[in-house]
Amino acid sequence: MHTESTNKAVPGYIMLAILPEVFIGALSGAIFMSITGKLFFILIAISAALFSLGFYMISPKEGCVLQFFGRYLGTDRNFGLHWANPFYSKYKVSLKIRNIESGQLKVNEAAGKSIETAAVVV
């Protein structure tokens, strides 16, 4: 049996401020450097673009299950913009409480008397 664990992801607004600066800095470095420097800065720009795939948004009354190649890492329940490893699988889960109410149903017992039943499922 697995128990739920919380996973604290990086706030997305911090990474939203850092990643564009790294990407633009790497591209400008690739323009003004020699051949070996260009290769290095192009690799940095590609990795910054790859890291941008780690953003995800959680709405109120919603959670996000984080898995790394099928291994459960935790559940993030804090709503807002978040960033996690781009290789994590992120599955949204609804945390809303739902009620299902059935109508009244008339059934007969063994003695022939009628009984009215109803159910509320939470």
- pLDDT tier for residue 57 given thresholds of 50, 70 and 90: very high
3-class DSSP state for residue 119?
Answer: coil
For 81-106, the DSSP string reads EEE--TTEEEEEEE-----EEPPPEE
For residues 13-28, give the mean pLDDT: 88
Rounded average pLDDT over 100-107: 85
Neighbours of 20 (CB within 10 A): 12
Q: Kind and range of the H or E element at 20?
A: helix 12-32
Instruction: Take residue 79 and report the two structure tokens written for it.
Output: 């709503």
pTM check: above 0.85: no
